[in-house]
Amino acid sequence: MKPAPFDYVRAESIPHALEALAGAGADADGDASILAGGQTLMPLLALRMATPSVIIDINRIEALAGVSRVAGHNGSGATRIGATTRQNHVLANELVKAHVPALAKATAFVGHHQTRNRGTLGGSVSLGEPAAEYPAIALTLDAVIEAHSSEGIRRIDALDFYLGAYSTALLPDELVVAVEYPDWPADSVTIVHEVTRRAGDFALVGLICQLAIAEGKVSRAAIGWFGMGATPMRSLAAEKALKGVSLGDIDPRAVAELAISETEPLEDKHATAHYRRSVGTKLFTRLLSAAVAERQKP
Amino acid sequence: MAQTTAARFVGQRLPRKEDKRLLTGRGSYVADVSLPGMVELAFVRSQVARGKIRGIDIEAARAYPGVRAVLSAKDLDSLGAKCQILHGGMAPAPHVDLLARDNVRYVGEPIVMVIADSRYIAEDAAGLVFVDCTMEDPVITIDDARDGPPVHPDFPTNVADRNAPPENPALEAAFASAAHVVEATIRHQRQAHVPMETRGVVAARQGVDELLVHLACQSPHLSAHLLANTFNLPQANIRVIAKDVGGAFGLKVQPWREELCAVAAALLLNRPVKWIEDRMENLTSAGQAREQEIHCRLALDANARLLAADYDYACNIGAFPQGVDTNFLVEMFLPGPYHLPLYRCRNVNYYSNTVGQAAYRGPWAMESLARETMMELAARQIGITPEELRRRNLITAADQPFSMVTGAVIDRVTPRECFEAILEKVDMATFRVEQAEARKAGRYLGIGFSVYIEPTTMGFGVLSSEFAHIRVDPTGAIIANMGTHSQGHGTATTMAQVIADELGVEYDRVTVHEDDSSRGAFGAGAGGSRQAVAGGGAAIKASALLAAKIKTIAGHMLNANPEMISMQGGRITVEGEPEVSTTLERIAATAYADPDRLPPGMEPGLEAQYRFRSPMFVFSNAAHACICEVDGETGITRVLRWIAAEDCGVMINPSIVEGQIAGGVVQAIGGVLSEEISYDAMGNPTAVTFKDYVIPSAHDVPQIEYIHLVTPSTSDGGFKGVGEGGAIVGPPALVNAVADALAPFGGRCYDLPLTPSRLLAIIDGGEG
């Protein structure tokens, strides 16, 4: 369990990292891996499941860390989080709590306190682990992933980012620099929950639901899942079905069943596909009922 | 006669002598050892479960910079190494080469050794070795093994060992006429031992034909003995050192293929060779355990008294077992602490194209799982409480000594008393009310019990005796060389407690060495829950001899009858004459440096040794209760309470006793709920890291509540073994608790592990 040989570049700036990425791409056998928090990459290296020719360490690039407010689409705001922002910083950040509560809630489920000290938001988003929280949050909240390369800057909608199991739209010479989460109305309903066998494990079933409410009706809905397919999943039909419905008319069981029908859970060592569907349906039904009831309280 | 052995330290929760170095990062494990000129070893392992090796290309690996040697089976022939399979029976066993020669028989089987300047380089070069191997359909499961082609071509079937007692008409008649017949099949998945420290070795040839071996093992002496046998070397030439070992659980009883390969490489290359098993190797090629299937039938009369029990037991022992989940002890102790007139157990061990078994803590644990699960199933089927069913069938003090139907005679055990103790602690009436209330609210609580008797000490074969050499050195310090060994057991502490009491000295004055086969003499270390009885017995007997000599010298120096000498806190006084005294330091100084002042003809020095004959079995016992909650939405089980009442005789150190119980209970929780070594149909392992081999975390284990009953054994000190119990009696308590929780759904699950998917299927089925 020792890594295969690799070259190591400590990137001092974003252009330096991009130059190293471009350089690796120019080499016929070139194959670069970005080292951020290392919580996934280091075990993969040790297992020789990843054997990059060069590792580009972006931990020293100060411009990549931090949380800020920026302008978003349609005149609303957005919260921009630098790629190397540590997960524990995301968890504690007041801007995240105020503007992206789903992300704050999800972060409490990410790994363990100790791993969150190293693990980064950008690392998790760009890896695309289908059972992890961050890719699903990005997908569900219509986040924009900002990728830089020596060719320029691409802003990729999360909806277009996750292509398959651990496969993303990121090109080999691109570096995720930040992720932007567009604002939702401040009084939106936010549900984030996951089922694990042990605290800190990958989710057997993970659920995200956010509802904007206007005049007692659902004005916008977003429903996403993790651990429920080869990629993070989105239940667009269920979202559409919820839109415009009065809170009192929501049938949580029907919504949950529709939403689940849009997932494609796999069977693995930890749970059957049937299990994931069954638990996901019950979980969503219960949490949606409770959230709607809470909102309807006088 | 003066009293010298009042217990001052035995029975106390003294902090362990080992902890200061272990908790401050100053332990010395094999991975910490580095010798001049040392090279490191990585294995090329089989990627197919069953096939024939057609050719091996090692040229690229040999040419890789930093590689010192690339060795395959034929390169080891000159050593004539003999590695001994232990399959649990007397039947002949197949030959095992250290490296696969013509056939491969499991994924992970070592084929080639690559030895290089570092482990990094060795792994690089191992990746360059090409093994041309055919791929045949493997024999993976028990069902495969029953009908499949033999794993070992020289053997006609996959049956390694079988015991099939003849038909018993009386037993069949009992089943035919019984008021109640209860039947079930229990399947236990395969498990790994997962010691925190994996296997490891640093082997170095020294002098002409001497071997120094740093080894993660359970006994330096036994390991030296086994290495001598394997390599046909005089044992006197082999020195095994194991200062600190981080858990073993049966995996490290004997050095096995990989460790032996490292020793072979050291002999061949004349260089120190290091191999530290990585976690993936540990989960895919270190010995494994369990994987059993048992069909159970109980017959009970109209008063719910046991009439007969009939078991049919099968175990998958892998390709090359080094010790198995012992079927003869399963067979001997399946009847447990109950009146049972008629009994039969058929059993069979099968070879398969999987990693071979190694004995795992409580290797016969299936006897408790099968019996205690069946007892609670019987209670539910008959419609009485599990408490009542046990009360009607458990043996009591009045029944002892009690002859089990298998012939084993048990005595001085308290299964009924332990069971009543946990019932009192639990308060069943209150619990049943809580359970009913919880069910109304959609929460599923359950309680399960288990009761058992444990054969400890196992005084046969290499475990027959234990050794202590104890001396007072010229400064008055007490130094013991013992054949005990700790992989976390704290024997340097417990043995010092025993010795301090016997010699009437302060505990701090006693140092126990057990880490080096060149010190002391043969002793088998950890295994069979033997060290309290065997090591404690040797310590008491050697201390008594040494105390007698000290008293003789003191009597001579103080002009008193040696029988009137009293030793306490290192002070030596004459009974009734408190003003006359001397110290151990003075006696030691005399014994070594002024021998002319010793009694005439006495041997100088102050030391004694004793080889203690261990009893065959010393019986301990326990009853456990577990309260759990099964989440109706997710099928996830949380253990809420765990109560353990045990009787391990006189406790040397209650904290260490509790540590032993806790460790076993945690392994029980993992074994019942989540741990599983699994293979796909082609024999590829599918749990190769801790992501997929799910062991309990601290969150998953409640504070264990202990109740200690003390019925001294008849062995010296009154000790009994306690090392394995939690792992034996723990599993059925949790299985029964889950069954109780799921009672409203009318289903049951005796296929381990009780995964969320399996339990939710019952819950969803019950709802429908």
Q: What does the DSSP 8-state code read for residue B160? A: E
Distance from CA of B457 to the nearest CA of A (A): 36
Number of Cβ within 10 Å of residue B49's Cβ equals 29
What whole-number distance in Å separates Cα of residue B242 and Cα of residue B256? Answer: 16
Q: Which domains does chain B have, with CATH numbers?
A: 19-25+460-613 (3.30.365.10), 46-136 (3.90.1170.50), 199-276 (3.30.365.10), 288-394+403-457+617-767 (3.30.365.10)
Higher pLDDT: A105 or B91? It is A105
The interface residues of chain B toward chain A in range 271-300, judged by CB-CB distance below 8 A, are 278-281
A1 Cβ under 8 Å from any chain B Cβ: yes
For residue B637, the model assigns a pLDDT of 97
Which of B123, B687, B760 comes nearest A278 by C-beta? Answer: B760
Question: Between chain A and chain B, how many beta carbons pairs sit less than 8 Å apart?
Answer: 71
What is the tens place of the pLDDT at every residue in B111-164?
999 999 999 999 999 999 999 999 999 999 999 999 999 999 999 999 999 999
Q: Which residues of A26-48 are buried (b: 16+ CB within 10 A; e: fewer)?
A: eeeebebbbbbbbbbbeebbbbe
Q: Which domains does chain A have, with CATH numbers?
A: 7-57 (3.30.43.10), 63-182 (3.30.465.10), 189-296 (3.30.390.50)
What whole-number distance in Å separates Cα of residue B704 and Cα of residue B661? Answer: 9
When pLDDT is averaged across residues B719-732 and rounded to a whole number, the result is: 97
Which of B687, B689, B756 comes nearest A271 by C-beta? Answer: B756
A287 Cβ under 8 Å from any chain B Cβ: no
What is the tens place of the pLDDT at every residue in B319-373?
999 987 767 899 999 999 999 999 999 999 999 999 999 999 999 999 999 999 9
Comparing CA positions, the residue from B548, B597, B554, B599 lying closest to residue B577 is B554
For residue B83, the model assigns a pLDDT of 86
- Could A269 and B635 be called an inter-chain contact, meaning their C-beta atoms sit closer than 8 Å? no
Q: What's the residue count for chain B?
A: 768
Comparing CA positions, the residue from A47, A61, A25, A264 lying closest to residue A151 is A25
| pLDDT tops 70 at residue A160 | yes
Q: Is the ipTM of this complex over 0.85?
A: yes
Cβ A192 vs Cβ A103: under 8 Å:
no
Which of A1, A5, A269 comes nearest B280 by C-beta? Answer: A1
When pLDDT is averaged across residues B487-512 and rounded to a whole number, the result is: 97
Q: What does the DSSP 8-state code read for residue A86? A: B
User: Which pLDDT band holds residue A28 (cuts at 50, 70, 90)?
Assistant: low
User: Which pLDDT band holds residue B84 (cuts at 50, 70, 90)?
Assistant: confident
When pLDDT is averaged across residues A20-32 and rounded to a whole number, the result is: 81
Interface test with A, best of B121, B751, B760, B762 (most A CBs within 10 A): B760
User: Which pLDDT band holds residue B3 (cuts at 50, 70, 90)?
Assistant: very low
- Could A274 and B755 be called an inter-chain contact, meaning their C-beta atoms sit closer than 8 Å? no
Higher pLDDT: B768 or B427? It is B427
What is the tens place of the pLDDT at every residue in A34-56?
999 999 999 999 999 999 999 99
Helix B725-741 and helix B366-382, axial crossing angle in degrees, nearest 10: 30
**CB proximity list for A128: less than 8 A, separation 6 or greater:** A135, A161, A162, A166, A167, A168, A231, A232
| pLDDT tops 50 at residue A99 | yes
What is the tens place of the pLDDT at every residue in B38-78?
999 999 999 999 999 999 999 999 999 999 999 999 999 99
Cα-based distances in Å from B355 to B52, B255, B262: 17, 15, 19
- Could A198 and B120 be called an inter-chain contact, meaning their C-beta atoms sit closer than 8 Å? no
| pLDDT tops 60 at residue B768 | no
For residue B6, the model assigns a pLDDT of 60
- Could A274 and B696 be called an inter-chain contact, meaning their C-beta atoms sit closer than 8 Å? no
Average pLDDT, chain A: 95
For residue A72, the model assigns a pLDDT of 80
Q: pLDDT over 70 for what percent of chain A?
A: 98
Indicate the helix (H) or strand (E) that contains B430: helix B428-440
Number of Cβ within 10 Å of residue B208's Cβ equals 6
What whole-number distance in Å separates Cα of residue A72 and Cα of residue A65? Answer: 19
Comparing CA positions, the residue from A152, A149, A142 lying closest to residue A171 is A149
B605 Rama class: left (phi>0) / alpha (psi -120 to 50) / beta: left
User: Which pLDDT band holds residue A133 (cuts at 50, 70, 90)?
Assistant: very high
When pLDDT is averaged across residues A185-197 and rounded to a whole number, the result is: 96
User: Which pLDDT band holds residue B751 (cuts at 50, 70, 90)?
Assistant: very high
For β-strands B510-513 and B478-482, DSSP reports them as parallel
Higher pLDDT: B2 or B310? It is B310
3-state DSSP of B330-341: HHHHCCCCECCC
A199 Cβ under 8 Å from any chain B Cβ: yes
A204 Cβ under 8 Å from any chain B Cβ: yes
Longest alpha-carbon distance in chain A: 66
- Could B123 and A283 be called an inter-chain contact, meaning their C-beta atoms sit closer than 8 Å? no
User: Which pLDDT band holds residue B767 (cuts at 50, 70, 90)?
Assistant: very low
Distance linking the first and last C-alpha atoms of chain A: 60
What is the tens place of the pLDDT at every residue in B424-433?
999 999 999 9
Exposure of B659 by Cβ count < 10 A (0-12 exposed, 13-18 middle, 19+ buried)?
middle
A274 Cβ under 8 Å from any chain B Cβ: yes
| pLDDT tops 80 at residue B179 | yes
Distance from CA of A281 to the nearest CA of B (A): 10
Number of Cβ within 10 Å of residue B193's Cβ equals 23
Comparing CA positions, the residue from B541, B529, B524 lying closest to residue B648 is B529
The interface residues of chain B toward chain A in range 601-660, judged by CB-CB distance below 8 A, are 633-636
Q: pLDDT over 70 for what percent of chain B?
A: 99
Cβ B367 vs Cβ B329: under 8 Å:
yes
**CB proximity list for A290: less than 8 A, separation 6 or greater:** none
Q: Which two tokens stand for residue B721?
A: 């073994």
User: Which pLDDT band holds residue B668 (cuts at 50, 70, 90)?
Assistant: very high
Which of B118, B692, B764 comes nearest A269 by C-beta? Answer: B692
Interface test with B, best of A270, A284, A286, A288 (most B CBs within 10 A): A270
Distance from CA of A90 to the nearest CA of B (A): 24
User: Which pLDDT band holds residue B1 (cuts at 50, 70, 90)?
Assistant: very low
For the residues of B253-322, what is the DSSP string, one character each? SS--HHHHHHHHHHHHHTS-EEEE--HHHHHHHS-EEEEEEEEEEEEE-TTS-EEEEEEEEEEE--SS-B
Tokens 């000490």 found at: B457
Chain B neighbors of A269, CB-CB under 8 A: 676, 678, 686-687, 692
What whole-number distance in Å separates Cα of residue B305 and Cα of residue B510? Answer: 53
Average pLDDT, chain B: 95
Q: Which two tokens stand for residue B40?
A: 């490191």
For β-strands B39-45 and B273-276, DSSP reports them as parallel
Q: What does the DSSP 8-state code read for residue B768? A: -
User: Which pLDDT band holds residue B766 (cuts at 50, 70, 90)?
Assistant: low
A43 Cβ under 8 Å from any chain B Cβ: yes
When pLDDT is averaged across residues B240-263 and rounded to a whole number, the result is: 97
Distance from CA of B707 to the nearest CA of A (A): 29
